[in-house]
């Protein structure tokens, strides 16, 4: 099982490749606010563990295993943002809250949150009731 740090790197690599077509160590380091040397060590570990192929000075590519996990991690992040938005968390808090909780939830919990988000999207009256409840508590 990948560590939270491994997950952060795979997620960022997946996003960079999706958006730019490539991911360089310097881009990953900048996105994660870590030193390039730390990224290089992690990329070497991810290569050894079969998540990507890393060739020094040539760049890196995700393996099918890495691509699948990267996509799932990005979806998890987006789902948690969506969930926090639906339940009324202040927009400026959402990113940090997701970063704080995403590695601590099981995939089973993530799947149940996805079910809840789907139900709330299909039944906007539930979201309205939740908002009304918040308004009563804040009054």
Closest residue by Cα to residue 71 from 12, 2, 4 = 12
- Expressed in angstroms, the distance from the first to the final Cα of the chain is 45
CA angle 101-137-82, nearest 5°? 35
Q: Are 74 and 84 in contact (CB under 8 A)?
A: no
Residue list for the binding site: 8, 11, 77, 99, 102-103
Residue list for the binding site for Mn(2+): 8, 11, 77, 99, 102-103
DSSP states of 29-66 as a string?
HHHHT--HHHHHHHHHHHHHTTSEEEETTTEEEE-HHH
């Amino acid at each position: 099982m990948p560590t939270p740090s491994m997950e952060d790197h795979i997620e960022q690599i997946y996003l960079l490749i999706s958006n730019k077509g490539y991911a360089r160590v310097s881009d990953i380091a900048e996105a994660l606010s870590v030193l390039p040397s730390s990224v290089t060590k992690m990329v070497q570990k991810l290569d050894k563990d079969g998540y990507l192929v890393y060739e020094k000075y040539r760049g890196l590519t995700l393996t099918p295993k890495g691509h699948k996990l990267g996509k799932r991690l990005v979806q998890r992040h987006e789902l948690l943002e969506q969930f926090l938005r639906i339940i009324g968390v202040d927009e400026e808090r959402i990113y940090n809250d997701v970063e704080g909780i995403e590695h601590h939830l099981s995939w089973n919990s993530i799947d149940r949150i996805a079910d809840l988000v789907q139900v709330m999207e299909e039944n906007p009256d539930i979201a309205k009731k939740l908002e009304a409840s918040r308004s009563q508590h804040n009054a």
